[in-house]
Every structure is written in C-alpha cells, then in structure tokens.
Amino acid sequence: MRYPDIEHHGAKDGVTGSCHQLHMDASHSLLIDCGLFQGNETSSDGRAATGRLDIEFSLATVQALVVTHVHIDHVGRIPYLLAAGFKGPIYCSEPSAKLLPIVLEDAFRLGFSRDQKAVERYLKLVEQRLHPLPYQRWSTLLESEELIARVRLQRAGHILGSAYVEVDLAYPGSGENRRIVFSGDLGATHAPLLMPPQSPERADILVLESTYGDRLHEDRAGRRQRLEAVIEHALQDQGTVLIPAFSIGRTQELLYELEEIIHSKLQAHINKPSLNVDEGGSEFANNGSAPHSQSPLPSGERARVRGNNDSSEYGFETNWPQLPVILDSPLATRFTEAYRSLQPYWNQEARERVECGRNPLAFDNLIKIDSHADHIAVVNHLTQTARPAIVIAGNGMCSGGRIVNYLKAMLHDPRHDVLFVGYQARGTTGQAIQQYGPKGGYVDLDGERFGIRARVTSIGGYSAHADQKGLVEFVTGMQQWPTNIRIVHGEQRAKEALAARLRAGYEQMNRPLVNITATNAGHATKPRRQAGLANHASR
C-alpha cells in the first residue's frame, strides 16, 4: 500500500454514515467522522438495520477521531466506536465540543440505555476524550522520525461549529509532504448565522461531498420570499404548516428567517393605519413552554386580520405578528439555547441584530413545547380547530420523532401543508411523502397506511449544503488545485454530475487532474415498500 491512503467506511454509496479512515503510514491512521446510516442506507446489502451500526474495521492503527460537525450522520456511530474499544482523543471545533455531548446523549439513550447513571458515565467518558481545536490553527497530532502529522480546522459554513479538515503529512525520511483535505459538509452561500467557508490554500488529495452536486440553489433573498409566499398560501386554508427539520442547524436557520419575516411584517403593520386587529395575545408567556393545564394555543381569529371581504380564501390575510411559531422538539430547544450561547461564532449580520435588541432565536411568536403531554395537546388542538400555525418538529426526514404524530393527524386533511426545506434521503418517510404526496399517494407510518391529502411543497434553497456552483468554487478557489479528488456523500447521479463539471473546469483552465473518483460501493440498495400511489385521483 502506498501512503497516504484513504479507506471509506460510509458515505461512499449514499449521503449518510460518513466515516473515512486516512492511513498515514502502516502504523498510524486517523478517522474523519463516524456517522449513522439513515434511510435505505441502513441496510444496503440486505442485512438488518443494526448490522451497519457495528464497527467492522480494525481500530489497531487509529490514533484519533476528527469530527467535522455534529449531525447524526457524521457522529451517530461514536457510541459504537467507543464500545468497540476506541480509546483515542476526539478532535473537533470549539463550538462542536459544546454541541456534541447533547447529540451523543440523545444517541446513547436511543441506542444503548435510558438509565441515567449509565448516561452520565458515558457522557463523562466522551467529555474526557474531547479535544476542542480553534479554527485556523495547526495542531500537531504525531511527531516521529518517520512521520509528522498536523491537523487544522477551517469553517465549513454548514452548521455552527462545522469544519473542513486539513491534514498535513510530512515524511522526513523521503522528504515528501502531502496535504489531504476532507470537506465534511460544506455550507450554502450566505447561510443565516454562519460565516461562509473559504477555500484552503491547497490540497493534494481532496475528499469532497456532493449532496447537491447536480443542482443549483436559489439565492437567499429568493428563498426567503418563497418561504413567505408558501406559508401565506398555506395558511389561506386556516391549517397548519408542518416543517420537518433536524434539531441542529436547519431549525435555527428557519427560526432566524421566520424572525426576519415577522419583524418586517410587524414594521409594515405598525405603519399601516386602518386595520381591525384582534388584540388578543397568546395564552402562553412568550418564549415559554406550554403548560398542559391551559389551552395550547390562542383562538384562530387571533392570527388573522380582517379585510374588506368575508371570504375565507380572500377575506383574511395572515397576521404575522400574531402567528404562532411552534417549536415542538425538546432536543431542538436545547440546541437553540446552545446556539444562543455561542453568539461569538455567529456572522456579523446576526450579531448586529442582537445589538439592535432583536432576538433571532427567541422572538415573541416562538412557542416551545417540551413535555409529551403538551405535544399531544397541541397536535389535538391544531387538528380540531381552524387556527393557522407554523410547526417545526423533528426529525428532518420524518423517520421518527414528534413530526410523525402530526403527520398521522394531518396528512389526510387538505387544510394542512407539509413543507420540506431539506434533503430527503432515499428510503425515508420524508422522501416517500415528497415523491407520492403530490400524486395523491399514501405513506405507511408505524405500520398504518395514511392517504396524503395535505399539500406537499419543497424549497430546495434552504439546504444547508453547498450546491454544484459552491462545490466547484471550493475547488477552484484554491491556489493549488488538487490532482486527486474523491467525491463522496451523494447519490450516484449527483456525484457523476459534479465529477463531469469539475473535469470540464480543469480542462478549460488547462489544469492537471490525475484522478477524480465518484466513489461507489458497487451494489444497489433495496427499496422499502412504505409508500406509493393509491387508487384514487390526485388532489
């Protein structure tokens, strides 16, 4: 084997389970991420889903784990890594070091034990292993006569704390030096709250994600206008807009964007002279949890402003300043509070909003639901009353979590809307709803079949991933372009499209490219029979 060499233990034939092993020499290697498989990728060769949780590669040479960011498809197998005997340090950015224990506590409770003492022992072990690294500073991991290994983290702009990883390897015996870059997940341009990624100086080998390698996103202004328009249209039916979102990253970006929409609407409302507004407010204290003894939401009229026409379709316009935004996810609430504590890592725009007295992640319309009893009460209230609301609930691909109860209660009713703002992996419930919902299809939830009558809409521009243009610019922004690119973390068509675009760019600029590989495990996934078209007409 010629060193350095890279072995992929996940995200080579799909978009989840990221785990890459960098063999630096015969005796030393690094792991970059150790994530959970999701959707069809949980059983890519017919094994039970739990079969892909096991650590099936040798840990004998692994010196450390480097975490790019704390999404579950990048860190979810860490409990299994520790159980398999890994005893090395876990390196990550300083914000990720604050967020990772929250993620791993949840993963441990779901996969291992809910016993509080066991959870506390596990978290103490994790915290002992954590070694936070500052951005933009080289840290030496290994120094010997045969090998000097250094690592540097740079902002990736994907979620708070996300990083791409530069590994610098020097071989004193031969005088050779190699620079390897692992992109992790790169963020979209102008993502809310986050500083954008800057290309590294150089890379000999680049491991590059390709989630959206075959498409382009709309710009931020366009996507915010579309989000506003979709919600306005959805609420004409006085129903609920359900937004499935992951607890970390997407939820906070959505709250940030919704606060901006509500703020602008409030300014317009203040300056608009003749509106007959119901002055009633929410029965909740602002930014508090819903007490189970009270009605979970104010009456429907409180989120509407009467116009000149009494028609339910045209006679009301959405009263954004009174519209409840319901965050129904205890985990997302914890992450949102953690985000608020990490304001020094926000971008300048977000910090300026705080300085002006605004609360981008804790605004007046925001209602946080904690207990399961309050969750059920809100589901029932929204199902049984004609009152508009926005609900953000986990998980982002609808394969579990509180969003499932909302879907069971509301999918059959055309008053309601399901709005997808993130990637839906093959085999997930979200992907099934996204595919079959517009055709009047059905989906299976917890073994029961539900027809889809709710309107289903997707806004791709809210992806936290860079699009094809952003990925290409990450490469071409380097002073020294990589001669070896391994494309991972994407569907095959996305990887091939990105590879073709990069080849064309190299040829156009007359740059040498030795190798570009769209990794593939060489086997197809088996689709789950969980959704399809029903024998009735589309809505």
Cα–Cα distance between 454 and 443 in angstroms, integer? Answer: 12
Q: How many other C-beta atoms are found inside a 10 Å radius of the C-beta of residue 295?
A: 13
CA dihedral for 519, 524, 529, 531, sign (positive or negative): positive
Q: Residue 512 has what pLDDT?
A: 86
- Output the CA torsion 399→404→410→416 (10° steps): -60
The H or E element that residue 532 is part of is strand 531-532
Both structure tokens of 159: 């979620």
Give 507-529 as a DSSP string: HHTT----EEEE---S-PPPPP-
Q: Residue 538 has what pLDDT?
A: 29
Q: Residue 294 has what pLDDT?
A: 44
Q: Residue 131 has what pLDDT?
A: 97
DSSP lists the bridge partners of residue 369 as: 328
Q: What is the pTM of this model?
A: 0.84
8 Å CB contact between 193 and 254: no
- Output the CA torsion 116→121→123→125 (10° steps): -170
The H or E element that residue 75 is part of is helix 72-75
Helix (H, G, I), strand (E, B) or coil at 68: coil
8 Å CB contact between 79 and 108: yes
Cα–Cα distance between 19 and 521 in angstroms, integer? Answer: 14
Cα–Cα distance between 212 and 468 in angstroms, integer? Answer: 6
Q: Residue 475 has what pLDDT?
A: 97
Q: Residue 298 has what pLDDT?
A: 45
Cα–Cα distance between 332 and 319 in angstroms, integer? Answer: 26
Cα–Cα distance between 289 and 287 in angstroms, integer? Answer: 7
Cα–Cα distance between 444 and 112 in angstroms, integer? Answer: 27
Cα–Cα distance between 167 and 418 in angstroms, integer? Answer: 42
8 Å CB contact between 415 and 237: yes
Which parts of 4-138 are beta strand (E)?
Answer: 5-10, 19-23, 29-32, 62-66, 90-93, 130-133
- Measured N-to-C along each axis, helices 94-111 and 116-129 cross at an angle, to the nearest 10 degrees, of 150
Helix (H, G, I), strand (E, B) or coil at 298: coil
DSSP lists the bridge partners of residue 367 as: 326
pLDDT tens for 171-228 read: 999 999 999 999 999 998 778 899 999 999 999 999 999 999 999 887 777 788 888 9
CA angle in degrees (0–180, nearest 5) for 139-145-146: 85
CA atoms within 13 A on the CB side of 448: 9
Per DSSP, 285 falls in state: P
Q: Residue 321 has what pLDDT?
A: 81
Q: Residue 296 has what pLDDT?
A: 52
Q: How far is CA 318 from CA 230, 232, 242, 314, in A?
A: 12, 6, 16, 11
- Measured N-to-C along each axis, helices 94-111 and 330-341 cross at an angle, to the nearest 10 degrees, of 170
**Could you state, in chain order, the average pLDDT of each consecutive group of 10 residues for the chain (539 residues)?**
92 92 97 89 49 82 98 93 94 97 88 88 92 98 96 97 98 96 92 92 97 86 84 85 92 94 85 52 45 44 36 54 92 95 95 95 95 96 91 92 96 94 86 93 94 91 86 96 96 95 94 83 37 39
Q: Residue 68 has what pLDDT?
A: 98
pLDDT tens for 145-162 read: 999 999 999 999 999 999
8 Å CB contact between 370 and 408: no
Helix (H, G, I), strand (E, B) or coil at 91: strand
Q: Residue 7 has what pLDDT?
A: 96
